[in-house]
Amino acid sequence: MLNRLNLLTRHLSRPFSPSRPISPSFSAPSLAARSGLSAMTSAVHPKLIHTAACLIIGDEVLGGKTVDTNSAFLAKFCFSLGIDLKRIEVIPDDEDDIVEAVRRMSSRYDFVVTSGGIGPTHDDITYSSIAKAFDLKLELHQAAFERMKRLSKPHPLQQNFDWETPSPGLTAKLRMVELPFDPKIPAESQAVFVADDLWVPIAVVNGNVHILPGVPRLFERLLLSLKPSLIPRLTDPEGKGTFRLLFSTPLPESAVAPYLTELAARVKARGVKVGSYPRWGKKRNTVTLVGADKAYMDSLASEVAENVQGTLVATEDELDCPSDEDRVYSQ
């Protein structure tokens, strides 16, 4: 992982625009410890987490250059914890778009995760845009800077790079450790380190906006490291999460629609959602039950299987026959 991070740093460390002044720094030694996770959750935003939103930031995603996998990972992460992921948006590296989206998401959802736009180049404007969204200034995070110096290596073509000598390259690197800072909130609740071999902090703004990098392996590792701090704030503090039952049926959607409509209305009050998903070109479709009350869902399994003439399966392709030719059926 360290090699991966070093590669990322070297890749991003291209000369930046002329040097700009370094803003005052804030430091919190306790951030280097894992105990900072509990401080992050209790000092500012202690309410329960019911809902989540994901903001993917990057022209490269909208332009088709990069395939977003982070939102899918976050969706599975939230599902496993029983957090209701309400919205996923992809927006460009545009300040106005970032400001509008992050304000709206922060006001509507309990747990907001952003991905991308925190590198050293001119189009990495996530930190500055989110700071603007909440009327904050960027300040050098001294602990992150010290970790960056210790854990990253210069690019082979930057052998003469000096951490103590002002240069366009140093200015570019500093962009990655100048974070939104609210002087009214304890520093330890605004950023946290989650691994000894990573210098990248998770910046937390307005109590619920978590700013993560776009590199999938970094995004995934940082997000998973947040799990211990999130569990105490879940509706179910045991973190049992959400469950999904899959039923494989040979019937078309139109044949099962009347029963599923009635079933959905009947189980809604118990927090169970009913889904129907055509598998285009396959002989069997999928019906799902999703909810937190597994015992109640299990009690419905035989009824659902009978009414859709289906079978409870572990994966939706479990009953597919490899020798069968794929056919398109009317839904």
In whole angstroms, give the CA distance from residue 146 to residue 131. Answer: 22
Instruction: Give the pLDDT score at 265.
Output: 97
* Co-location of 211 and 71 in the same domain: yes
Instruction: Give the pLDDT score at 41.
Output: 41
Instruction: Give the pLDDT score at 59.
Output: 95
In whole angstroms, give the CA distance from residue 128 to residue 95. Answer: 8
The pLDDT mean for the chain works out to 84
Q: What is the pTM of this model?
A: 0.78
* Co-location of 300 and 228 in the same domain: no
Instruction: Give the pLDDT score at 307.
Output: 97
Domain enclosing residue 173, as ranges: 51-154+163-233
Identify whether 28 is part of a domain.
Answer: no
In order of 105, 152, 167, 168, 174, the CA distances from 158 in angstroms are 40, 13, 12, 12, 16
Residue with more model confidence, 244 or 7:
244
* Co-location of 77 and 222 in the same domain: yes
* Co-location of 227 and 272 in the same domain: no
pLDDT at 62 over 70: yes
Instruction: Give per-residue pLDDT as tens, 17-37.
Output: 333 444 456 654 433 333 344
Identify whether 117 is part of a domain.
Answer: yes
Token duo for residue 20: 């700009």
Identify whether 193 is part of a domain.
Answer: yes
Identify whether 6 is part of a domain.
Answer: no
Residue 101 pLDDT level (bands cut at 50, 70, 90): very high
Identify whether 24 is part of a domain.
Answer: no
The Cβ of residue 35 has, within 10 Å, a number of other Cβ atoms equal to: 12
* Co-location of 190 and 293 in the same domain: no
Number of structural domains the chain divides into: 2
* Co-location of 141 and 256 in the same domain: no
Instruction: Give the pLDDT score at 330.
Output: 53
Instruction: Give per-residue pLDDT as tens, 267-284.
Output: 999 999 999 999 988 899
Instruction: Give per-residue pLDDT as tens, 231-270.
Output: 888 877 665 788 999 999 999 999 999 999 999 999 999 9
- Which amino acid makes up residue 318? E
Q: What is the mean pLDDT of residues 117-133?
A: 94
Identify whether 4 is part of a domain.
Answer: no
Residue pointed to by tokens 């927090």 = 271
Instruction: Give per-residue pLDDT as tens, 210-223.
Output: 999 999 999 999 99
Instruction: Give the pLDDT score at 146.
Output: 92
* Co-location of 109 and 170 in the same domain: yes
The crossing angle, in degrees rounded to 10, of helices 2-12 and 216-230 is: 120
Minimum mean pLDDT among 35-44, 182-191, 292-301: which range? Answer: 35-44
pLDDT at 1 over 70: no
- Element containing residue 104 per DSSP (H, E): helix 95-108
pLDDT at 303 over 70: yes
Minimum mean pLDDT among 12-26, 55-69, 112-126: which range? Answer: 12-26
Identify whether 14 is part of a domain.
Answer: no
Instruction: Give the pLDDT score at 124.
Output: 92
CATH code, domain with 218? 3.40.980.10
